[in-house]
Amino acid sequence: MDKGALAATRDGRTNRYVPRISPEEYKLLETQHVLDGLYQGSVKNLIAAMYDGDKLSDQDIADLKKWFSEK
């Protein structure tokens, strides 16, 4: 609720929570939060950390190159 992703209404003695944003919007907000907090807002720094930590396969790298070339 603090982030604006949920709204609450009272239903008897309990609260009923409903989403105010879509799952895609939430994922984007959380990704931006992680990016800003850990990688100074840099996608390059995030990818470099994943690459240096051996978390990207050769296929992942090829897919990323293709994706970036299409942007």
- Report the alpha-carbon distance of residue 65 to residue 35 in Å, rounded: 20
- Report the alpha-carbon distance of residue 30 to residue 38 in Å, rounded: 12
Give the pLDDT band (50/70/90) at residue 5: confident
- Which two structure tokens, joined as six digits, stand for 15? 């609260």
- Report the alpha-carbon distance of residue 53 to residue 71 in Å, rounded: 26
pTM for the full model? 0.60
Helix, strand or coil for residue 8? Answer: strand
Predicted local confidence at residue 13, as pLDDT: 93
11-69 pLDDT tens trace: 899 999 999 999 999 899 899 999 999 999 998 898 888 888 888 889 998 999 999 99
Q: What angle do CA 8, 27, 7 make, to 5 degrees?
A: 5
